[in-house]
Amino acid sequence: MPSPEKIAALEARMLSLGITEDTLLEKFIQGSGSGGQKINKTASCVYLKHSTSGIEVKCQQQRSRELNRYIARRELCERLEEIRDGKKSARKQAQEKIRRQKRRRSRRAKNRMLDDKSKHSQKKNLRKDPGSND
């Protein structure tokens, strides 16, 4: 459960963005995914829709409904700020960073890496004891 200070800070952030409780459509739906019988029986997943902007948020990060409500509202604020300011959020930047890391190397970069590896192995072979048969 978030502290009252965090809740008050989130409410102030929502007001500065023009989000009020009457512009939000909030539904509690049953969760899905791993977690077994408990997650499938309880309606702790929060669905928020901001009627003026049309942004939809679905949050099922925690088992607690109240915590999911808080996280969903925070996510909605982040998305609205991202649209308003025109900059990428930290979440999107992290996703793009992972995508760049997983991207396949170019042929030139791959060949350069393999050449460096072979040079390094040759150096290591020169360090070996002359009498060893390895």
User: What are the tens digits of pLDDT across the range 63-91?
Assistant: 889 999 999 999 999 889 888 887 777 77
Tokens of 132: 């060893």
What secondary structure, in 3-state letters, does 30-66 show?
CCCCCCCHHHHHCCCEEEEEECCCCCEEEECCCCCHH
User: What are the tens digits of pLDDT across the range 14-66?
Assistant: 999 989 989 999 999 988 877 777 777 888 899 999 999 899 999 998 888 99
Question: What residues does each domain of the chain span?
Answer: 4-87, 92-122
CB-CB contact of 47 with 71 (8 Å): no
Specify the 3-state DSSP secondary structure of 29. Answer: strand
Specify the CATH number of the domain 4-87. 3.30.160.20
